[in-house]
Structure 1
Amino acid sequence: MKLGVFAVLFAQKPFEEALDYIASKGLEAVEIGTGGYPGDAHCKPDELLADAGKLKAFKQAVESRGLIISALSCHANPLHPQKALAQADDATIRKTIELANRLEVPVVNTFSGCPGDHEDAKYPNWPVAPWPNDYQEILKWQWEQKVIPYWSDINNVATEAGVKIGLELHGGFSVHSPATLLRLREATGKAIGANLDPSHMWWQGIDPVQAIRILGRADAIHHFHAKDTTIDPVNVNMHGVTDMQSYTQMLDRAWQFRSVGFGHDLKTWADIISELRLVGYDYVVSIEHEDGLMSVEEGFSKAVQNLQQVLIREPLGEMWWV
């Protein structure tokens, strides 16, 4: 496995300065934002696709520092009921797939998106209860009319480009759990898989180790984010796991994102890394920092220190004792 980072953490730094900093920490990979929610501070798809010289220089800037690009990421909502928003996000995803093909990057990460509840809706509607039955009707319409048709097309586009799609299982979007990811993959194609982030499993009450086992058996893990979560044992009884308070209300929230090792101990993270190896995932573990108690530099550095202790780097050898 290789240790990497989602480089949008360092969007305020010039691209090559950010790469120097990342390489100085002993990392081997970068995940780069190309638009959508992560922004495109370090990577402008239109510019790179239009200029072969800029494309070559971009790739060389990464490779000259001993790094690889693990994924291009454009997390967005291409199913947004407001058509202008959906079209812009769809265009970003398609350009990112094309750019990944040109850069020989194997994975594009994004969200599944979430539609509204009918054709004239203005806002996404995320059904999370089977009753009243209205929610079942909304869910059926969303999947049959929006989710499956859209991602069937993108699966074909990605397959043609030789690129995999890593959907982050994130609350608020149609694909947010192992079951919803596998449902979409079954309906669309094998280019669709997970960008698995344990932090979103924990707050939903899902054991990430078991999520890895479920998705790994289906060969459905295309990329992996390293981020932690802590559940407040008092506040969760007040607000539940679907707590709608701002992330800034850390003292009162039911759960919050933390840097690796500050929500769960290193034995838990060792179990996660071991399970990834067990199901055959030997690609990049990409650090994502969204810890409201630490600066970017400190949260990132501590995540690196903690993951370095549990990451399994070397290829499997013979079982000499068998």
Structure 2
Amino acid sequence: MKLGVFAVLFSQKPLEEALDYIAAKGLEAVELGTGGYPGNAHCDPDTLLADAGKLKAFKHAVESRGLMISALSCHANPLHPQKAISSADDAIIRKTIELANRLEVPVVNTFSGCPGDHEDAKYPNWPVAPWPNDFQEILAWQWEKKVIPYWSEIGGIAEQNGVKIGLELHGGFSVHTPATLLRLREAAGKAIGANLDPSHMWWQGIDPVEAIKILGRENAIHHFHAKDTSIDYNNVNKHGVTDMQSYTLMMDRAWQFRSVGFGHDLKTWADIISTLRLVGYDYVVSIEHEDGLMSVEEGFSKAVQNLQQVLIKEPVGDMWWV
């Protein structure tokens, strides 16, 4: 495995300065934002697709520092019921797939998106209860008319470009659990897989180790984010895991994102890394920082230090003791 980082943490730095900083920390990979929620401070598809010289220079800037690009990320909502939003998000996903092909990057990360509840809706509708039956009708319409058709088309485009799609299992979007990911994968093809982030499993009450086993059996993990979550069970009892309070209200929230090792101990992270190896994932572990108690530099540095203790880097040897 290789240790990497979702480089949008350093969007305020010029590309080459950010790459120097990342390489100096001993990392081997970068995940770059191309638009949508992460922005495109370091990697603008329009610029790079239009100019072969700039594309070559961009690739050299990464590779000359001993780094690789693990994924291009354009997290967005291509199923948003407002066409102005969904059209823009769809366009960036398609451009990012094309750019990934040109850069020989194997994975594009994004969200599945979430539709509205009918054709004239203005806002996404995320059903989370099976009753009253209205919710089941909304869910069926979303998947049959929006989710499966869209991702079947995008999955086909990704396959044609030699690219895999890593959908982040994130609350608020149609694909947010191992089951919903596998449902879509079965319908839309094996180019569709997970960008698995344990932080989103923990707050939903899902054990990331078991999620890795479930998805790993289907070879459905295309990329991996390293981010932690702490749970305040007193606040869970008050607000539930679907706590809608602002992330800034850290004393009152049921859960919050933390840097690796500050929500769960390193034994838990060692189990996660070992299970990734067990199911055959031998790609990049990409650090994501969204810790409200630490600066970007400190949260990132501590995540690096903690993960370096548990990351399994060398190939598996023969079982000499057997």
TM-score interval for Structure 1 and Structure 2 normalised by the shorter chain: over 0.9
Q: Which residue identity does 1:217 align to in structure 2?
A: R
1:269 paired residue number:
269
SS at match of 2:263: coil
Match runs of 1:296-311 below 5 Å: 296-311=296-311
CA shift digits 1:193-219 (9 cap, x unpaired): 000000000000000000000000000
> CA–CA distance in 2 between the matches of 1:71 and 1:155?
16
In structure 2, list runs of 5 or more residues that go unmatched: none
**Equivalent residue for 1:251?**
251
The aligned counterpart of 2:138 is 138
* Cα shift at 1:233: 1.5
Task: Describe the superposition over 1:140-173 as per-residue Cα deviations: whole angstroms up to 9, x where unpaired.
Answer: 0000000000000000000000000000000000
Quote the residue 1:175 is aligned against: 175
- For 2:17 and 2:151, locate their aligned partners in 1 and report how far apart those are by CA, in whole Å: 36
Task: Write out per-residue CA displacement over residues 238-276 of structure 1, whole angstroms, 9 at most, x where no aligned residue.
Answer: 000000000000000000000000000000000000000
Structure-to-structure mapping, 1:184-263, within 5 angstroms: 184-263=184-263
Following the alignment from structure 1 to structure 2, what is the Cα–Cα distance between the partners of residues 8 and 44? Answer: 13
| 1:280 maps onto 2:280 in alignment | yes
Q: Deviations over 1:8-64 (max 9, x none)?
A: 000000000000000000000000000000000001100100000000000000000
Equivalent residue runs for 1:103-118 within 5 Å: 103-118=103-118
Residue 79 (structure 1) aligns with: 79
Structure 1 CA distance, aligned partners of 2:275 and 2:3? 16
Read off the aligned partner of 2:305 and give its amino acid letter.
Q
Query: 1:88 corresponds to which residue?
Result: 88
Instruction: In structure 2, give the amino acid aligned to 1:114.
Output: C
Structure 1 residue 97: deviation in Å? 0.1
In the alignment, the residues of structure 1 paired with residue 44 and residue 314 of structure 2 have an alpha-carbon distance, to the nearest angstrom, of 35
- The two structures, once aligned, show a CA RMSD in angstroms of 0.2
Structure 2: which amino acid aligns with 1:40?
N
Matched, 1:289 2:292: no
List alignment gaps of at least 5 residues for structure 1: none
Deviation at 1:283, TM superposition (A): 0.1
Alignment: residue pair count: 322
What corresponds to 1:44 in structure 2? 44
How far did 1:281 drift?
A: 0.1
Matched with 2:318 is 318
Identity %: 88
Q: 1: CA distance between counterparts of 2:146 and 2:6? A: 29
**Residue type of the alignment partner of 1:239:** H
The corresponding residue for 2:153 is 153
In structure 1, distance between residues paired with 2:3 and 2:65? 14
Aligned twin of 1:123: 123
The superposition leaves residues 42-92 of structure 1 with CA deviations (integer Å, 9 ceiling, x where unpaired) of 011001000000000000000000000000000000000000100000000
What does residue range 57-68 of structure 1 map to in structure 2 within 5 Å?
57-68=57-68
| Distance (whole Å) between structure 1 residues aligned to residue 149 and residue 44 of structure 2 | 28
TM-score (norm 2): 1.00
Structure 1 counterpart of 2:163, which letter? V
Give distance in 2, aligned partners of 1:236 and 1:84. Answer: 36
- Runs of 4+ more than 4 Å apart: none
TM-score after normalising by structure 1:
1.00
For 1:294 and 1:97, the matched residues in 2 are separated by: 33
- Which residue in the other structure is 1:30 paired with? 30
Residue aligned with 1:234, SS = helix
Q: 1:263 is matched by which residue type in structure 2? A: G
Q: CA separation in 2, counterparts of 1:223 and 1:249?
A: 30
